[in-house]
């Protein structure tokens, strides 16, 4: 861009001749459209990343709760099997 072109652009902007030029409005529409598209894309992408991060966090908590539940279930199962064994041994002793 040379000095004459730059001088013409600045003088047109100062004299408000830019607003009567159709290229100005076309450029304004293009910039607005691109901004909207990029904004929508980034909004959707950031929401999806947030959902994925929340799911990962929830998944870790669910795994922890599942481990606790499994541990408790094994404890109960062991107690039931032990009580069953005691009852069987008692029955064997009664038979003998």
* Interval 70-81: pLDDT, tens: 999 999 999 888
Whole-structure pTM value? 0.46
Contact 10, 18 (CB under 8 A): no
* Confidence (pLDDT) at 34: 97
Contact 41, 33 (CB under 8 A): no
Identify the sign of the CA torsion 18, 19, 20, 22. Answer: positive
Contact 68, 61 (CB under 8 A): no
Could you give phi then psi for residue 17, rounded to 5 degrees?
A: -75, -15
* Confidence (pLDDT) at 18: 64
Q: How confident is the model at residue 1 (pLDDT cuts 50, 70, 90)?
A: low
Q: What are 10-60's pLDDT values in tens digits?
A: 777 777 766 677 777 888 899 999 999 999 999 999 999 999 988 888 888
């Amino acid at each position: 861009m040379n000095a004459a072109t730059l001088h013409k652009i600045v003088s047109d902007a100062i004299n408000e001749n830019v607003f009567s030029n159709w290229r100005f409005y076309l450029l304004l529409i293009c910039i607005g459209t691109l901004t909207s598209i990029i904004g929508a894309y980034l909004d959707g992408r950031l929401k999806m990343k947030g959902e994925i991060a929340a799911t990962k966090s929830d998944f870790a908590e669910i795994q922890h709760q599942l481990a606790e539940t499994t541990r408790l279930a094994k404890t109960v199962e062991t107690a039931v099997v032990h009580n069953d064994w005691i009852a069987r041994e008692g029955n064997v002793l009664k038979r003998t």
